[in-house]
């Protein structure tokens, strides 16, 4: 056995050199993570963004036929207290005639049909509709109580939505999306 042989070669036990390699590798790994961490950390949302994760909207002043627009996560949210006539018009629509038969309601299963109740706040609150106010064609903001069906109309490209926010005509491929929301009281809706 020569002088340059290590114990690892002959006995299978670690040597001081093996320890130094391991320690240097670990120091390098810690250094690499320390150098990369600021870049990873800056990708997390800041506190102002997290604060907007949910909002509460006071709807006590909305009489039937009135709407308001709130801002949530940088998007307009349409909240409307629909009239009996608007609800009846939405119920009269035949589901097989709808361009998009899916409810697009984050509060329901993904495959829920686009019935008026599935697009509204639910049984007993069919008069309330809460939707993200971005046209599903190119993200424009539609005008309320407009268009052929009395719902929303996007003047940019001609998409027409009914009183339940379902696409009826134009280039938009989907119904207006409904975010997660809940009534915290008869006068307040929590979105998000």
Strands, DSSP E only, in 18-118? 55-58, 66-72, 75-81
**CA 69/CA 72 separation, integer angstroms:** 10
Catalytic-residue membership of 157: yes
Task: Exactly one of 84, 157, 182, 188 is catalytic; name it.
Answer: 157
Q: Which among 100, 83, 86, 72 has a CA at the least distance from the CA of 159?
A: 100
**In which residue are the tokens 């990873």 written?**
40
Say how many C-beta atoms besides its own lie within 10 A of residue 175's C-beta.
25
**CA 80/CA 129 separation, integer angstroms:** 5
Q: Which residues are catalytic?
A: 157
């Amino acid at each position: 056995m020569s002088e340059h042989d290590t114990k690892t070669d002959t006995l299978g036990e670690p040597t001081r050199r093996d320890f130094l390699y391991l320690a240097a590798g670990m120091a390098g790994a810690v250094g690499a993570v320390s150098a990369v961490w600021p870049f990873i950390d800056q990708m997390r949302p800041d506190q102002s963004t997290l604060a907007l994760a949910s909002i509460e909207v006071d709807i006590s002043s909305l009489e039937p036929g009135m709407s308001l627009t709130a801002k949530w996560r940088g998007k307009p949210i349409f909240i409307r207290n629909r009239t009996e006539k608007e609800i009846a018009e939405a119920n009269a629509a035949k589901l097989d005639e709808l361009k998009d038969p899916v409810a697009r309601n984050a509060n329901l299963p993904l495959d829920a049909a686009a019935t008026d109740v599935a697009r509204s706040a639910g049984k007993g609150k069919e008069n309330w509709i809460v939707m993200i106010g971005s046209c599903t064609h190119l993200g424009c903001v539609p005008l309320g109580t407009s268009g052929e069906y009395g719902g929303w109309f996007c003047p940019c490209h001609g998409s027409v939505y009914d009183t339940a926010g379902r696409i009826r005509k134009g280039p938009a491929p989907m119904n207006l999306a409904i975010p997660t929301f809940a009534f915290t009281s008869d006068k307040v809706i929590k979105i998000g």
